[in-house]
Amino acid sequence: MAISELQMGLVGVGGAVVVGIFAFNKWQERKQRKALEPLVPASAQEPVLSELPAGVGSTERVEPVISVDAPARVQPSAKTVKDASARRVPPLLPPEVDERADWVVRVESIEPVVAGRLWQAASEQLQGITKPVRWFGFSDSDNRWEAVGPNSGSSYHWICVALQLVDRRGAAGDADLALVSDGLQRMCDIFMAIPSLPAKGEALAQAAELDRFCAGVDIQIGVNVVAREHAFAGTKLRGLAEAAGLELLEDGCFHARDEQGVSQFVLGNLEPSVFVAEDMRGLTTQGVTLTLDVPRVADGVRVFERMMAVAQQLAEALNGAVVDDNRSGFNRVVTDNAQGTETAIRYLVKKGHAKIGLVTSDLTTSFRERTQGYARAMKHHGLSSRPEWIRIVERTEDPHIHQVFGDLLRLPEGERPSAVFAVNDHFALNGVRAAAALGLRVPEDVSIMGFDDTPFAKAATPNLTTIRVQNFRMGELAVAALHRLMETRRSEIECIVMPTELVERDSVGPPREA
């Protein structure tokens, strides 16, 4: 039967394919030989049958012998075993990678690949990926995984690529996995490497399940401090934030970090622009936002309490208000400052004092409320308050407070108040030291009373009479508010006012003329 031209053509094509496959196999064999050359001495040659010693390679059956005279078998060196196993046995995953949350691709390269070149080539192939991708290279010499970046100069046989399956934008989709898969395949073709691609269907189902779980536990709590009248000045805002232990980082936010440097909560600009250190002097803003990422902190309740305390401090110092995203009042637990001040003045009057001075400040809302309580209490008891008896602290540094108190106590004896109420213990203790510097005895020459009942009040000499704030109970109520917020995911407007308590110690006595 005659052979047609089509059949002849097919035969020719088939022959070309066979020749191509044979040539490719020879190329791979030559490549493998080059890769093994460092493991074999240059003088060594592959044995052939014609060169074998007599009796070796013969068809005669040779039984194994167990004897002390049997020749010892040559064992491979430790280095040879390590190098060979490093090329053939996949290492375990990096500790930073979890297959429950990452789509993990191992890449094997016969020839060592410079990590930086691989990363740069991959960045071109993986453009458009919406989820974070992390790279690691396995160090054969150190037997550990190392993070890989664009400037990495080390070479590796094994590369691990981890695509994060879920973030706050949702789960990775089929397009994300296809983009990574195709990009890695093209990259591996360039470097003659082999990727081990996991099944996409299983990874997509795992991503969807993980996304549902995260949606159920992911809680982010944010509070705003907004200006009541005038915008917040950047210099004052920065000073208050740094005084509270926050640090301005490159992302344009102030971070409250723990001992390990992990961010606990952040303070950012309520307006679109971010905070830049060089621009804070000329910046003004209508408000700031404090944000707590609950799943990322180990002790959410403690961090929440600290964040709320910082928000309240900012509101008091900047004449602002703590509100939620709807500009509604946020849950607050506050001290009844007016009631506490009235208790203090009533106690001083009971001791026989009619000349009662005040050392106060306009720095916080609490101070202003205590000042108002002083005025109401003096009026209620029919006592006059002379202007020179009221002194204002403008800064919280001890030398300044000491000077303010000292100026009050330097008044002539007949013009000087017999008792002084300070709006916090810090001011009052500076007053005790100022009195001692002027040769005045407390309480024999002048009585001094504080507010807050800090630990220093009890340790001072004399022990400071003061008004106790129920800090522990306030903390319990704040925790309860946090638990309600986490359970219901909505904040019912609530302001709990805590009563105060008189703590009578040694710094108040009867007036000298009594």
Asked if the bond preceding 443 is cis, omega within 30° of 0, the reply is yes
What contacts 24+ positions apart, CB below 8 Å, involve 257-264?
262/296, 262/297, 263/296, 264/292, 264/297, 264/303, 264/306, 264/307
154: three-class secondary structure by DSSP: coil
In order of their start, the domains of the chain are 85-214 (3.30.70), 220-330 (3.30.1400.10), 335-470 (3.40.50.2300)
Instruction: Give the tokens for residue 28.
Output: 């791979």
Let me know if 498 is exposed, middle or buried by CB neighbors in 10 A (0-12, 13-18, 19+).
middle
The amino acid sitting at 30 is: R
Are 450 and 467 in contact, with CB atoms under 8 Å apart? yes
In degrees, to the nearest 5, what angle opens at C-alpha 192 toward C-alphas 143 and 128?
Answer: 90
Instruction: Give the tokens for residue 92.
Output: 């375990």
Half-sphere exposure of 370 (CA within 13 A, CB side): 32
Q: Helix crossing, 398-409 with 425-437: angle to 10°?
A: 60
User: Running along the chain, 514 residues long, what does each successive block of 10 average in pLDDT?
Assistant: 67 70 66 54 44 48 53 49 51 90 90 83 78 90 88 89 86 88 87 88 88 70 87 93 92 89 91 90 92 78 80 88 68 75 96 96 82 93 93 89 95 93 95 96 96 90 92 55 54 62 95 72
Dihedral sign for Cα 110, 111, 114, 118, please.
negative
Return all residues near 109 (Cβ < 8 A) that are at least 6 apart.
156, 157, 158, 159, 191, 192, 193, 194
Are 329 and 321 in contact, with CB atoms under 8 Å apart? yes
Nearest to 207 by CA among 258, 180, 256, 167: 167
Determine the Cα–Cα distance for residues 277 and 270; give it in Å rounded to an integer.
17
The pLDDT of residue 187 is: 85
Q: Helix crossing, 300-318 with 234-243: angle to 10°?
A: 140
Determine the Cα–Cα distance for residues 181 and 197; give it in Å rounded to an integer.
7
- Alpha helices by DSSP H, listed for 196-336, are 200-217, 234-243, 300-318
Determine the Cα–Cα distance for residues 52 and 37; give it in Å rounded to an integer.
22
Are 359 and 431 in contact, with CB atoms under 8 Å apart? yes
Nearest to 163 by CA among 218, 244, 106, 224: 106
In degrees, to the nearest 5, what angle opens at C-alpha 318 toward C-alphas 315 and 324?
Answer: 35
Instruction: Give the tokens for residue 156.
Output: 């590796």
The amino acid sitting at 300 is: G
Q: Helix crossing, 337-350 with 365-380: angle to 10°?
A: 40
Are 288 and 267 in contact, with CB atoms under 8 Å apart? yes
Instruction: Give the tokens for residue 79.
Output: 């280095």
